[in-house]
Amino acid sequence: MKNFQFALLTLLLFSAFSCQDDFLELKPLDAISEEDVWKELNLIELYVNDRYNELPHGFPQWAGGLRMTGITDESYHMHEARFLDKYTQGGLTSGSLNMYYFNGFWLDAYKAIRNQNIFLENIDKYQPQPGEEKRIEQLTAEIRFLRAYFYTELISRYGGVPLIKETFNVNSNFNVPRASFDECTEFIVDELDAAIADLPNRSEVTGVSFGRITKGAAVGLKIRALMFHASPLFNPSNNNSRWQLVAEACEQLFGLNEYNLSQDYKGLFLNPLDTEVIFFKQFLDQFGFELVDEPSDFFFHYRGGHNINEWRFPNGSGGWISENPRQEFVDQYETLSGEIPVLGYTGNANNLQPIINPNATGYNPNNPYQNRDPRLRYSVLYDNTTFKNRQLEMWKGGMDSRDPNVDFWWNGHRLGYGIRKSLDESWSLNDGVSGKQPWIYMRLSEFYLTYAEAQYHLGNPSAAVQYVNFIRQRSGVNMPPINASGDLLKKIKHERKIELAFESNRWYDARRWRDAEVDFAKDIVGVEITKNQVTNQKTYRYFYFEGGTGKRSFPQSHYLWPIPIDEILKSNLQQNPGY
């Protein structure tokens, strides 16, 4: 009897567990298996969506991504100097410990490229239903665009890179040499040509599709790749015929008849629907701060979205005015008569004397921001300009200054200026929402300027002048036209510098022109404005921010970034010269 009871109990014990045929054959419960993804077109589209998400942009929480202005002669990044100084002072090395910022892109780009390659290798597994072919073609073209995008960004930083067109697995042979710059360019252009055929036009991408990649974006990217290929840095033999391809690609873009120069230079950066905008990334104004766990981050940050407004607002409006445009960059904005007002500085490092351009009529050293190219007003926060319905007080002791008697003085500027371009003035710290303005990768005026540059090299100065003047003379800017006399290339470069200021182009342009060794090696000049409380008279003291000359340098090696040391140790990749 007892034996029977025991047997029964044992049986009960066992039955507490559902007997499964294969007890150890389990499935993950937090993800989707590979097979399932490539069987369903909706899942495939989700896969493509996430590839879009891998695009870097110019508003990340910290520097990095495309937030390049702090490593150029445009501005000084007060809060990131500790990461950027290695580069701006000529000491960049290939070591990962120093490369918090510079290394990241290599990793992100190749991770994205692998994910794009996964798509291209698996998309054929899908058996399309009738009518689905076009959608698949479009998704494929989007992926090819994205892959070309990352390669263009890679070669513009590193020169020729390993061209990975297939996926590796853990047992692959990983030895891939660096392809030449020419091979990379050819690959990019071929891929884009193939994609252009299957991509929709801007006018076809509306409603919920708005934001998907268009023909225009692909042509724009092709122009960029070809432009690098034709520029002195990557075209050491100065083969001018390369500019012919650039010009043709520009004409291809213009021939789409989808884009027009904006009539609102200030507003276009907030409006992805503007006729000038070709490629962009959108954000949501998500609500609320959150306290974060990450020890690397401060007190709190925004939930989702980006935080560029708080980073760049002046301290008098609750921001940190992180990136200060440099005085000599501000000086580049012409007077209304079309002259650069200040040509340089001399004298005592703490009290520099501006060398004033005698031709710059209308320039008043005691009211230096008057009578200037309107794009100065749209792009830079300077003393007494109107911002959020008030006059900025950049002067010492003013509410936007770094004076210990001012609220949030520790967030005050160091050089006298802040970046205004693409700020959303309607944003307020008190609303507690993140910024929603888009990051604009490409807009038409860039390609007008590229076209002008190409035509200059091809010996058509009049075409070059024409396209520069389209930009200068659009309504809302209305600057006097340039002519072909004198150093036309210098004028084109100057226009590009001003027109595209703080949009990240400067770092690519100064390098591809090989101008960086001079331009980026200049010491930082700042201005301290003092206001006489009785007369309200302001005086301007210019100074070398770092105390003297020779604090900045740009060795030849810095034209390209080093391949991360870890990568060199693991592979047979050839390091860039000088690292």
**Interface residues for other proteins in 375-414 (CB under 8 A)?**
407, 410
Nearer to other proteins among residue 212 and residue 494 (C-beta)? 212
Q: DSSP label at 82?
A: H
Q: Which of 238, 255, 291, 389 binds other proteins (CB under 8 A)?
A: 291
Contact call for residues 559 and 576 (beta carbons, < 8 A): no
Q: What residues between 326 and 345 interact with other proteins by CB under 8 A? A: none
Selected from 41, 61, 110, 340, the binder of other proteins by CB under 8 A is 110
Please report, as residue ranges, which positions from 528 to 567 form the binding site for other proteins (by CB under 8 A): 545-548, 551, 564-567
Measured distance CA(543)–CA(546) in Å, rounded: 9
Helices within 241-301 (DSSP H only)? 242-255
4 contributes a contact to other proteins by CB under 8 A: no
Please, is 110 exposed, middle or buried when counting C-beta atoms within 10 Å of its C-beta (0-12, 13-18, 19+)? middle
For residue 364, the minimal CB distance to other proteins (Å) is 28
Stretch of 187-195, 278-286, 337-345, 488-496 lying at the interface with other proteins (CB under 8 A): 278-286
CA-to-CA separations, 422 to 434, 435, 443, in angstroms, rounded = 14, 11, 13
Question: d(Cα 23, Cα 215) in Å, to the nearest integer?
Answer: 53
Q: Give the Cα separation of 66 and 226 in Å (integer).
A: 20
Q: Which is nearer to other proteins, 350 or 530 (CB)?
A: 350
Show contacts with other proteins in window 424-483 (CB under 8 A): 429-430, 432, 436
Under rule CB under 8 A, which residues in 172-211 are in contact with other proteins? 172, 174, 176, 206-211
Contact 226/245 with Cβ under 8 angstroms?
A: yes
CB neighbourhood size of 94 (10 A): 20
Among 123, 139, 146, 161, binds other proteins (CB under 8 A): 161
Residue whose CB is less far from other proteins, 271 or 337? 271
- Residues in region 34-93 near other proteins by CB under 8 A: 34, 37, 43, 46-47, 49-50, 52-53, 81-82, 85, 89-91, 93
227-238 per-residue burial string, b: 16 or more CB within 10 A, e: under 16? bbbbbebbbeee
Nearer to other proteins, 111 or 134 (CB): 111
Which of 61, 79, 96, 126 is in the footprint of other proteins by CB under 8 A?
Answer: 96
State the minimum distance, in angstroms, from the CB of residue 411 to other proteins. Answer: 9
Q: Please, which of residues 359-378 interact with other proteins by CB under 8 A?
A: none
Distance (Å, rounded) from C-alpha 469 to C-alpha 463? Answer: 10
* Nearest CB to other proteins, comparing residues 110 and 126: 110
Minimum Å gap between C-beta 475 and other proteins is 25
Indicate whether 8 belongs to the interface with other proteins (CB under 8 A): no
Told to check if 30 binds other proteins by CB under 8 A, we report: yes
Those residues with Cβ within 8 angstroms of residue 374's Cβ, 6 or more apart along the chain or in another chain:
265, 476, 477, 478, 479
Per-position b or e across 524-557, b if 16+ CB within 10 A of its CB: bbbbbbebeeeeeebebebbbbeeeeebbebeee
**Closer of 362 and 432 to other proteins (Cβ):** 432
Residue 286 falls in which region: left (phi positive, over 0), alpha (psi -120 to 50) or beta: beta
Least Å distance between CB 234 and other proteins? Answer: 20
Structure-token pair, residue 573: 């990749």
According to the binding rule CB under 8 A, does residue 162 interact with other proteins?
yes
9 binds other proteins (CB under 8 A): yes
Residue with smaller CB distance to other proteins, 29 or 534: 29
Q: Min. distance of Cβ 236 from other proteins in angstroms?
A: 25
| List 113, 213, 249, 516, residue binding other proteins (CB under 8 A) | 113
Which alpha helices (DSSP H) does 412-519 contain, by range? Answer: 444-457, 461-472, 488-499, 505-512, 516-519
Distances (CA, A) of 553 to 30, 88, 544, 549: 51, 7, 15, 10
Nearer to other proteins, 424 or 546 (CB): 546
Q: Near other proteins by CB under 8 A, which window of 230-238, 281-289, 388-396, 440-448?
A: 281-289
> Given the rule CB under 8 A, which of 12-20, 185-193, 323-331, 379-387 is the region that contacts other proteins?
12-20
Of 57-65, 171-179, 417-425, 453-461, the window that binds other proteins (rule: CB under 8 A) is 171-179
Q: Does 307 bind other proteins (CB under 8 A)?
A: no
Smallest distance, Å, CB 552 to other proteins? 11
Number of residues that bind other proteins (CB under 8 A): 109
Q: For other proteins, which residue of 62, 289, 470, 540 counts as binding (CB under 8 A)?
A: 289
Rounded to the nearest whole angstrom, what is the least distance from the CB of residue 358 to other proteins in the complex?
32
Using the minimum distance from each CB to other proteins, give the nearer residue, 124 or 251: 124
CB contact burial 3-37 (16+ within 10 A = b; e otherwise): eeeeeeeeeeeeeeeeeeeeeeeeeeeeeeeeeeb
Q: Tokens 């029977």 identify what position? A: 4
Quick one: which H or E segment has residue 103?
none
Q: How far is the CB of 30 from other proteins (least distance, A)?
A: 3
CB of 524 to other proteins, least distance (A): 11
Q: Which amino acid is at 342?
A: V
The SS3 call for residue 104 is helix
- 205 vs 471, beta carbon nearer other proteins: 205
How many CB atoms within 10 Å of residue 481?
12
